[in-house]
């Protein structure tokens, strides 16, 4: 009994040690797996939140923000005192006086009495340096770093918006693929039912064998479309899992519907102005313009004077016991003035670079503003096209359903052929597919237009600038 008890305790101890080392290293992976198990059915809002939490591009953008914060602290330190504690221990032998040109003039008895021996020298000191005047270099560098932090924040917003748009597109790809599977399966079911009717009529002598053969061919021809639709579902699911940093083969169901919501805003100029005000790419280029101006100031300061205060206080002694004796104190204070006279054209080169960078930033800003206006127009036109498509296909689906029902009834009474029924089935399948595609295009068009304008890609989410 004791042996069993000790064995159980030992196993628990080993298990606790293993888990103690395993969980901290795999905390993120464990959380992801738990979410995967709990989140096999996701709404688009949940998918976006999961992507913004896990997606590697988003995480890299956030780390870049943290890196810039560290850079700001580094640059700010240039304006603060630099204090160091230094200590050295030296063992040396210096025959310099033996090499003196006047050494031979010393009386021989005295000269022979001199000998060079090794000696020790110990010292420690507190040193400091403080910039007093840098012609604005430090302040400009700090402002430049803060501007870059703001710019990296815009980069983060851009990445989050792009990831959100991609998640929305992939999520609705999965929804659309699932709906197309339903249409394909219904088409197969309709053709199988018609095949049963044809066989019954053939058995009763009211149909020809060629009608049976045609119906069997039509059933077989419907299978590839169903297979393609099912494969599209698997591919869309894998793509969405990839964006959510999940196993591509993990089970995942998109919970939602392709719903039509009319777009109310049609003022192209107003939409364009809002896009220019909110788009993170535009804000980033404006920041680059301001950064180039500060870079030019920084380059101009390279040729201006600099004044620093430096000091040192400590002890220097041959014997370690004297290192605490104030008689062996050693200190110095100095003001160091520097004014560049000739730098080989370095400052001129820096100024040229800064001026060119500013021109490039302004040209890029003009180019991006023009491109954003074009994107707004294209996105709005795409929504209008999708709206017209949905309106046309909704009526077409209802008519195609009536035509199919009429053709099926007519065939039962010999007033229609198998080809008539198959044509009606194909027309209904095409009408339903076109309606689904129109709804999908309208949903994605709205998401893209919101992305172009710098709004949250999905209303109610926190992606992008608010």
The span from the CA of 35 to the CA of 130, in Å, is 53
Output DSSP code: residue 310: E
CATH 3.30.750.24 assigned to domain 45-78+134-304+352-452? The reply is no
- The angle formed by the CA atoms of residues 62, 67 and 72, to the nearest 5 degrees, is 125
Strand partners, 89: 122
Residues 449 and 383 sit within 8 Å (Cβ to Cβ): yes
CB atoms within 10 A of CB 194: 23
Give per-residue pLDDT as tens, 300-327. 888 888 899 999 999 999 888 888 888 8
Give per-residue pLDDT as tens, 35-90. 444 447 899 999 999 999 998 989 998 898 888 888 888 888 888 889 999 999 99
| Helix pair angle (418-452, 137-203), 10° resolution | 170
Range 231-258 average pLDDT: 91
Is the pTM value of this prediction over 0.85?
no
Q: What share of the chain is helix, strand, coil (3-state, %, to 5)?
A: 70, 10, 20
Name all contacts of 225-229 with Cβ < 8 Å and 24+ positions apart: 225/184, 225/187, 226/181, 226/184, 226/185, 226/187, 226/188, 228/184, 229/177, 229/180, 229/181, 229/183, 229/184
Q: What is the per-residue pLDDT for 71?
A: 82
The span from the CA of 449 to the CA of 378, in Å, is 9
Contacts of 144 (CB under 8 A, 6+ apart): 75, 291, 294, 295, 298
> Which of 123-132, 299-308, 455-464 has the lowest average pLDDT?
455-464
Give per-residue pLDDT as tens, 395-447. 888 888 888 888 888 878 777 787 888 888 888 888 888 999 999 999 999 99
Domain residue limits, the chain: 45-78+134-304+352-452
The span from the CA of 1 to the CA of 184, in Å, is 66
Quick one: three-class SS letters along 313-362? EEEEECCHHHHHCHHHEEEEEEEEEECCCCCCCHHHHHHHHHHHHHHHHH
Core vs surface per residue 314-343: b (16+ CB within 10 A) or e: bbbbeeeeeeeeeebeeeeeeeeeeeeeee
Residues 443 and 259 sit within 8 Å (Cβ to Cβ): yes
Q: What is the per-residue pLDDT for 461?
A: 54
The span from the CA of 397 to the CA of 433, in Å, is 9
Q: What is the per-residue pLDDT for 460?
A: 58
């Amino acid at each position: 009994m004791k042996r069993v008890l000790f064995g159980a305790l030992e196993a628990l101890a080993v298990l606790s040690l293993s888990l103690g080392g395993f969980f901290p290293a795999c905390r993120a992976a464990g959380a992801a797996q738990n979410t995967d198990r709990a989140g096999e059915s996701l709404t688009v809002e949940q998918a976006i939140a999961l992507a913004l939490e896990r997606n590697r591009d988003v995480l890299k953008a956030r780390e870049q923000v943290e890196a810039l914060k560290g850079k700001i602290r580094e640059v700010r330190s240039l304006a603060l005192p630099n204090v160091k504690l230094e200590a050295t221990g030296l063992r040396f032998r210096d025959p310099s006086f033996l090499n003196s040109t006047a050494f031979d003039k010393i009386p021989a008895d005295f000269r022979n009495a001199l000998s060079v021996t090794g000696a020790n020298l110990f010292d420690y000191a507190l040193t400091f340096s403080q910039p007093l005047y840098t012609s604005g270099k430090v302040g400009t560098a700090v402002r430049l770093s803060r501007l870059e932090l703001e710019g990296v924040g815009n980069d983060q917003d851009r990445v989050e918006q792009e990831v959100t748009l991609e998640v929305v597109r992939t999520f609705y790809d999965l929804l659309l693929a699932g709906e197309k599977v339903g249409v394909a399966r219904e088409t197969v079911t309709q053709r199988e039912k018609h095949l049963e009717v044809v066989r019954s009529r053939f058995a009763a002598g009211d149909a020809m064998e060629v009608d049976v053969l045609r119906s069997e061919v039509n059933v077989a021809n419907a299978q590839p479309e169903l297979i393609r639709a099912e494969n599209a579902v698997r591919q869309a699911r894998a793509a969405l899992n990839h964006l959510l940093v999940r196993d591509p083969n993990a089970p995942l169901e998109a919970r939602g519907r392709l719903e039509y919501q009319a777009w109310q805003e049609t003022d192209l100029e107003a939409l364009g102005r809002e896009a220019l005000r909110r788009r993170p790419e535009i804000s980033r280029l404006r920041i680059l313009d301001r950064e180039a101006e500060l870079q030019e100031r920084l380059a101009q300061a390279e040729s201006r004077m600099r004044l620093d205060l430096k000091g040192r206080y400590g002890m220097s002694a041959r014997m370690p016991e004297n290192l605490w004796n104030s008689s062996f104190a050693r200190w110095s204070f100095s003001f160091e003035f520097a004014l560049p006279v000739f730098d080989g054209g370095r400052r001129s080169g820096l100024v040229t670079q800064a001026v060119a960078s500013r021109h490039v930033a302004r040209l890029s800003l003009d180019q991006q503003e023009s491109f954003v206006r074009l994107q707004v127009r294209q996105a709005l036109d795409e929504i209008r096209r999708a709206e017209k498509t949905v309106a046309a296909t909704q009526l077409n689906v209802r008519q195609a359903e009536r035509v199919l029902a009429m053709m099926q009834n007519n065939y039962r009474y010999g007033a229609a052929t198998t080809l008539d029924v198959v044509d009606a089935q194909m027309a209904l399948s095409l009408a339903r597919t076109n309606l689904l595609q129109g709804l999908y295009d309208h949903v994605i068009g709205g998401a893209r237009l919101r992305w172009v304008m710098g709004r949250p890609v999905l209303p109610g989410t926190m992606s992008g600038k608010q």
